[in-house]
Amino acid sequence: MRPKHPWLKKCLEQLEKLPQICATATTEPYVYEEILADGKLTIETSNYKINYIFVIKSGITADTLDLQFEYLHHFSNRLYAPNRPLLITNDLSDFVIDQFLEKNIEFLDTNGTIYLNNPTFYILVRNSTRQTQKASSSNNLTTSTLKLAFTLLQDPQRLIKSDQNRLAELTGIDTKTVSRGLESLHNLGYLQRLPTGDYLISDYNKLLERWELGYVENLRPSLLIETYRPLKRQ
């Protein structure tokens, strides 16, 4: 029986696009050794079969990573071999994906990102279509947000205060626009929000790359004061 949960269904569709992979999900919700999970996923190849006990989690951002790591570590420790833990989730930022890879947390997301690393096989798929779409649109960052990002990049170690008056002065945009820009950069995974309401840059290089792309596509044309036509030859 095909799964009912739309995220799980979409993740399985992406997984089964891989050659020689057959995936079957059973029983939602799933009880295993007094552990309440969202299901069991069996992945079969021509030679091997491996079982995953999975949980479906939403809202995973740079701000919630520590809590997610703690939860998944606890969940993993309660499983017995040969079953393995697996995270099913929706769209993840590049920063969050990199953190999961570093921690060796196996997961599937609805954008087609697949990370499975076990003694039987290793699979890592990062959705190139998603990357292309993000690159071409600069994640829809406005020119004001790009100006704000440029200001933040000048001093990457500085704590970004929740009081936006100074940032508004440095950037040349009003405080409401600064507030919206910080929220946008945070939602995209470039800023980490602290319990105090202040921010820190999560990944300087990724923010710099996004600013450079946005500068070429959006910001530089807006800085062009006037265009000229060459004089006709006499």
Considering the domain boundaries, does residue 109 fall inside one?
A: yes
Same domain, 96 and 173: no
Same domain, 110 and 175: no
Same domain, 30 and 81: yes
pTM (predicted TM-score): 0.56
Same domain, 211 and 138: yes
For β-strands 107-109 and 39-44, DSSP reports them as unpaired
Domain C-terminal end among 126, 159, 179: 126
pLDDT in tens, 195-205: 787 888 887 88
Helix axes 65-77, 94-103, angle to 10 degrees: 30
Any idea what the CATH number is for the domain that residue 101 is in? 3.40.1350
**How many structural domains is the chain composed of?**
2
Domain C-terminal end among 111, 126, 141: 126
For β-strands 107-109 and 114-117, DSSP reports them as antiparallel
Q: Assess whether pLDDT exceeds 70 at residue 148.
A: yes
Q: Note down the domain range covering 138.
A: 133-220
Considering the domain boundaries, does residue 1 fall inside one?
A: no
222 or 105, which is more confident = 105
Considering the domain boundaries, does residue 75 fall inside one?
A: yes
Same domain, 109 and 61: yes
Q: Assess whether pLDDT exceeds 60 at residue 129.
A: no
Separation CA 158–CA 214 (nearest Å): 23
